[in-house]
Amino acid sequence: MWGLPEGRDKESLLELDRISGSGSPAALSKAEFLERVRRSNQACQQGEFALAVRLYTEALTADPQNCILYSNRSAAYLRLGQHAKALDDAIKARLINPKWPKVRRLTFDDLTALIVVVG
């Protein structure tokens, strides 16, 4: 399993999304959640990665244990050049579900490159 970056533990990484923003987000209905996920995936496909990050973040407020959303948001952060956030989300996805194939596809070289950029 991957080690956590220095100064980070599982609880603090998962807490990042719960404390972001100016207060507790309103709960999303199932339909709103599914719409956020659909729109975030569409935004990624259209190269609108900042919008995708915002929508994935909103969806994560409704399902903070969703490894797929963290994995997808990690990819969007990576495309925006926000390497530390991409690494944090990849680690979160891996901690939630170590067998998730997208996260397992990250190679040692990918992770090393992220750590070098972040470190």
The reply to whether 2 falls in a domain is no
Q: Is the pTM of this model over 0.75?
A: no
Residue 22 is assigned to a structural domain of this protein: no
CATH number where 90 lies: 1.25.40.10
Indicate whether 57 belongs to any domain.
Answer: yes
b/e burial code for range 38-67 (CB count within 10 A of at least 16 → b): ebbeebbeeebbebbbbbbbbbbbbeeebb
pLDDT per position as a tens digit, 17-40: 443 443 344 578 899 999 999 999
37-82 pLDDT, tens digit per residue, is: 999 999 999 999 999 999 999 999 999 999 999 999 998 998 998 8
* C-alpha pair distances (Å), 100 with each of 22, 31, 35, 66: 31, 25, 23, 11
In a domain, 67, yes or no: yes
**How far apart, in whole angstroms, are the C-alpha atoms of residue 7 and residue 53?**
24
Between residues 29 and 7, which one has the greater pLDDT?
29
> For residue 46, what are the domain limits?
11-16+29-118
Cα dist from 102 to 8, 11, 31, whole Å = 22, 22, 25
Nearest-5° Cα angle at 18, 24 to 96: 145
75 in a domain, yes or no? yes
| Predicted local distance difference test score (pLDDT) of residue 5 | 46
Please report the pLDDT score of residue 3 as a whole number: 45
Query: Does 5 map to a domain?
Result: no
Average pLDDT over every residue of 94-106:
75
Instruction: Please count the structural domains in the chain.
Output: 1
- Residue 77: predicted pLDDT: 92
